[in-house]
Amino acid sequence: MSLTKLIGISITRLSRYRLRTFLMMLSVVIGITTLTTIVAIGKGAQQQIVKGIKSFGPNSIMVAAGGGAGFGPPDSTTTTLTLDDAKAIQESIKNIKYVAPFTTSFGNTFVYGNNNLVGIVVGVTPIWSEAWTWPIEQGEFISEEDNASLSKNCVIGKTVVDELFAGQNPIGETIRINDTTFKVIGVLSKRGTSPHGMDLDKRVVVPISTAMKKLSNVTYIGNIRVYAEEPSTTRLFASDPSGLSSITESITALLRERHHITPPNEDDFRITNSISVSETVDNVTGTMTKFLGLLSLIILVVGGVVIANIMFISVNERKKEIGIRRAFGARGKDILGQFLIETIVTTVIGGVIGLTLGFFIAKGISVLYGLPAIISWEPVLLAFVFSVLVGVGAGIQPARKAAIMDPVMAIRG
């Protein structure tokens, strides 16, 4: 019997037993929907992590005040880093391109006219823009003169421009940060959101001297960003893959000496470099891949068991049909082919439906919860492979049972 005729017979039988067909499809639809959703959300999360690495920058080292294994800027009670520490790193450590100390203050109120916004104030030196590869879009950046004179000039992020100025040119205008007025001299280029969902453009950048003495009244800083020389310049990383680690170790030793820290006392600072960030990403990506693989296996087994059970029931219920077809000349391989085609058609259609639902659910989650979702070719391939494997794996044994039935016994039921 030709393949075309077998497919036609299989589709006719599936349409006749609609409830059974629906139940078989349902197990595949649930599995593919779940898999598609998780792959889309998972790839979105991976993209955010990679975006975070790019934001952190290659050949970068971040020194933060305060010990422990935490991540991110220190709180206002942590006072263990100073501008002198940054100066010592610049003067004592080789193969360093930029050293950019900065302070970070959250929960500040920005006011212009009747508009206000709560955001971050960052106190910086002129090299901060280059150290973070964060150029200005308009105007000019904080200068050495601004820091020397404790000026009240500031550079604002794109969100601040949108919220406070609503399309107007902010250059030369005056805004209030908490109770202190500042003149806007520049606008930062758009950065977007961090991997944690923070709006990086909701910030105002001011001279670090002004931030320390006029806004916070402190003598310490929160972070020091260190950017190593490019490999093409020093060949450090081309000849020594652990070059960044060596610089990190040198900075650690210098700060321990300056802060009079000896074992077994813990460091009163934290250091993270782009190598450790990359390793973290690799671990997260690897764990996510293993999780998706395990989930796929579980879905495959559960879906296959459900379909196999339904197919066994179908074979038992359709004994007379099988017997009559055999009596009229249908061969065993025709019966085998029919039941296999029924399961494959059912699972492939279920896979398409699950794929569509998964895309919509992933997009819905992305909109509702702000999680990124990336729709790519992987779910399509996974859905097709999954559907065919389930169809063949779950249908082969029931199909064999139907194929080897004695026609006479089958007709008798």
Residue 125: Cβ-neighbour burial (10 angstroms; 0-12, 13-18, 19+): buried
Confidence of residue 373 (pLDDT cuts 50, 70, 90): confident
pLDDT, residue 39, reads 77
More confident residue, 156 or 26: 156
pLDDT at 269 over 80: yes
The residue behind tokens 């219920």 is 317
The overall longest dimension of the chain from CA atoms, in Å, is: 104
Instruction: Find the angle CA(393)-CA(347)-CA(320) to the nearest 5 degrees.
Output: 75
**Segment 112-146, tens digit of pLDDT:** 999 999 999 999 999 999 999 899 999 999 999 99
Domain boundaries, the chain: 3-51+280-412, 67-267
CB 241 within 8 Å of CB 158: no
pLDDT, residue 236, reads 47
If you ran DSSP here, which 8-state letter would residue 229 be given? P
Picking from 89-103, 209-223, 342-356, which range would have the lowest pLDDT averaged per residue? Answer: 342-356
3-state SS of 294-318?
HHHHHHHHHHHHHHHHHHHHHHHHC
Amino acid identity for residue 95 in this structure? N
Ranges 38-42, 258-262, 295-299, most confident: 258-262
Mean pLDDT of 35-49: 75
Mean pLDDT of 167-186: 94
Picking from 57-66, 132-141, 372-381, which range would have the lowest pLDDT averaged per residue? Answer: 372-381
Integer Cα distance of 296 and 289 in angstroms: 11
pLDDT, residue 300, reads 65
Confidence of residue 53 (pLDDT cuts 50, 70, 90): low
DSSP β-ladder status, 153-156 and 180-188: parallel
If you ran DSSP here, which 8-state letter would residue 39 be given? H
pLDDT at 287 over 90: no
